[in-house]
Amino acid sequence: MSDYRQMWESLELDLPAHDHLLNVLGKFYGDIYLSQQKRLKGMEYLDFVISEIHGLRIKELLDAQKSGQKVFGTFCVFVPEELIWAANGICVGLCAGAEIGKGEAEKVLPRSICPLIKSFMGFKLARLCPFTEACDLVIGETTCDGKKKAFEIFAEFKPTYVMEIPQMKRKDDYELWKNEVWRLKEKIEEVTGKKITSESLKDAIKMINNRRRALQRLNILRQQTPVPISGRDALLINQISFYDDPKRFTEKINQLCDELEEKVKRKEGVVPQNTVRILLSGCPMAVPNWKLPYVVESSGAVIVDEESCIGERNTRDLIEETGETIEEMIDNIVSRYMKIDCACFTPNKERVEHIIELAEKYQVDGVIHYTLQFCDPYLVESYKVEKALEEAGIPVLRIETDYSMEDVEQLKTRIEAFIEMLK
């Protein structure tokens, strides 16, 4: 790791604090991931990526920049990354899953704000995220009021571009979104100095679709009994999909799925056949937010799917590959992204329907609805989700938490009790 010190210095990271962060992260990862039994061989790649999370991948980004490529950071599955790749750019999802730089963040943000927002501001202000530092441009969005206003402040410290996300799905809203996608295309072309061509966009759509296909394949394997992969490992794969090189990642995940298929044929599971199966639904879990999955799986249940932006919401829908002209392809991008059923939309009936559909498809025993504190869209929507699940006869537990570890014991009691109830 010491080879990277110069690189981190050049990114102006706070080195002592960054060392500390990597230490904590390494220990945390060891406890939650490396302690698992009967892990897949294919997970070695993911372990390697995590161990090099602030090392090799950052070096790749910096090398790419030296050869003229531009790096774009995003925080939301709404940003159509195909446009970035089509302009020879690189897209990375930025860190927002740890209670980092809280004191720094609270200098500019209110104390009672969602931990994800506090986290991305904290990572930036405390100079602890080499991804953020390496970015040429951060692309924000207006999914919620907290993020929308926080990007105004974030822009003081980092070049930031904000996309407007519609709040409804009427005809006008599709128009608004279409204009936003075209505007983003122009912005990306301006930053990269490269024109997006029908060829390059077609390739980019295919590349990102292939990554989604690999993740869909993984999800289908998770529907099996006994479950061949832990929820934690599957979450990690989804998390890494946001910042790894898409082609390499897709290839590695397809290899891992080959291994899983063999396991399924041999009826080999990570847990016994009758283990309680849980669907996690709600807010995204960004790296290294593994608290809840860890508590659930160490209480004797297994997570078989995530109805979340780091999960189904990111992988469920592909972009139609029928377009030939840029206009047609942008239309396809627009309609694919408008299928996202984020709680920032009203009404958002399709999300509730999807949850029930997933609960049945993955044969879950119960749903844990997870919300980050102060995340109004998901917190308010949890009422509708709970009601619909109860009507469908599917038990549900609502959990509201943040990134701190102080409530782990209370969470354990509630989750263990929920699992006892499902047995």
Partner 1 sequence: MKCLGLDIGSRTIKLVLIENGRPIYTHKALNTYDPINEVKKCLQKVDYDIMLATGYGRGLAQKEFHVPTVTEIKAFAIGAKYLVPECRTILDIGGQDTKAIALNNVGRVFKFEMNDRCAAGTGRFLEVMAKALGYEIEEFGKAALEGNDHIQISSMCTVFAETEVISLLARGEKRQNIARALHRAIATRSVAMLKRVGLNYPIVFAGGVAKNPCMRLFLEEMLGRSNSDKPSVIVPEDPQIIGALGAAILAEREVKNEG
Question: Between 328 and 386, whose beta carbon lies closer to partner 1?
Answer: 386
Q: Produce one character per residue of 230-259: b if its CB has 16 or more CB atoms within 10 Å, e if not.
A: bbbbbbbbbbbbbbbebeebbebbbebbeb
Q: Tell whether residue 401 is a contact of partner 1 (CB under 8 A).
A: yes
User: Near partner 1 by CB under 8 A, which window of 53-61, 93-101, 104-112, 410-418?
Assistant: 410-418
Q: Tell whether residue 407 is a contact of partner 1 (CB under 8 A).
A: yes
**What are the tokens at 423?**
């047995």
SS3 88: coil
Which of 26, 19, 71 has the alpha carbon at shortest distance from 50? 26
Q: Tell whether residue 99 is a contact of partner 1 (CB under 8 A).
A: no
Alpha-helical (H) ranges within 95-230 are 102-108, 115-125, 130-134, 145-154, 171-192, 198-222
What is the C-alpha to C-alpha distance for residues 299 and 187, in angstroms, rounded to an integer? 48
Q: Tell whether residue 409 is a contact of partner 1 (CB under 8 A).
A: yes
Q: How far is the CB of 66 from partner 1 (least distance, A)?
A: 47
What is the C-alpha to C-alpha distance for residues 25 and 20, in angstroms, rounded to an integer? 9
Residues from 340 through 399 that contact partner 1 (CB under 8 A): 395
Question: Between 241 and 382, whose beta carbon lies closer to partner 1?
Answer: 382
What is the C-alpha to C-alpha distance for residues 376 and 117, in angstroms, rounded to an integer? 13
Q: Tell whether residue 421 is a contact of partner 1 (CB under 8 A).
A: yes
Question: Between 24 and 421, whose beta carbon lies closer to partner 1?
Answer: 421
Question: Between 3 and 406, whose beta carbon lies closer to partner 1?
Answer: 406
Q: Tell whether residue 416 is a contact of partner 1 (CB under 8 A).
A: yes
Q: Tell whether residue 400 is a contact of partner 1 (CB under 8 A).
A: yes
Report the length, in residues, of the chain.
423
User: Near partner 1 by CB under 8 A, which window of 85-93, 219-227, 284-292, 402-410?
Assistant: 402-410
Question: Between 376 and 407, whose beta carbon lies closer to partner 1?
Answer: 407
User: Near partner 1 by CB under 8 A, which window of 74-82, 165-173, 237-245, 414-422?
Assistant: 414-422
Radius of gyration (Cα) for the chain, nearest Å? 21
Q: Tell whether residue 417 is a contact of partner 1 (CB under 8 A).
A: yes
Name residues whose C-beta falls within 8 Å of residue 319's C-beta, 6 or more positions apart in sequence: 82, 205, 208, 209, 329, 332, 333, 336
Residue 277 · residue 284 · CB < 8 Å? no
Question: Between 226 and 395, whose beta carbon lies closer to partner 1?
Answer: 395
Q: Tell whether residue 420 is a contact of partner 1 (CB under 8 A).
A: yes
Distance spanning both ends of the chain, measured CA to CA: 45
Q: Tell whether residue 410 is a contact of partner 1 (CB under 8 A).
A: yes
Q: Which positions lie near partner 1, rule CB under 8 A?
A: 395, 400-401, 406-407, 409-410, 412-414, 416-417, 420-421
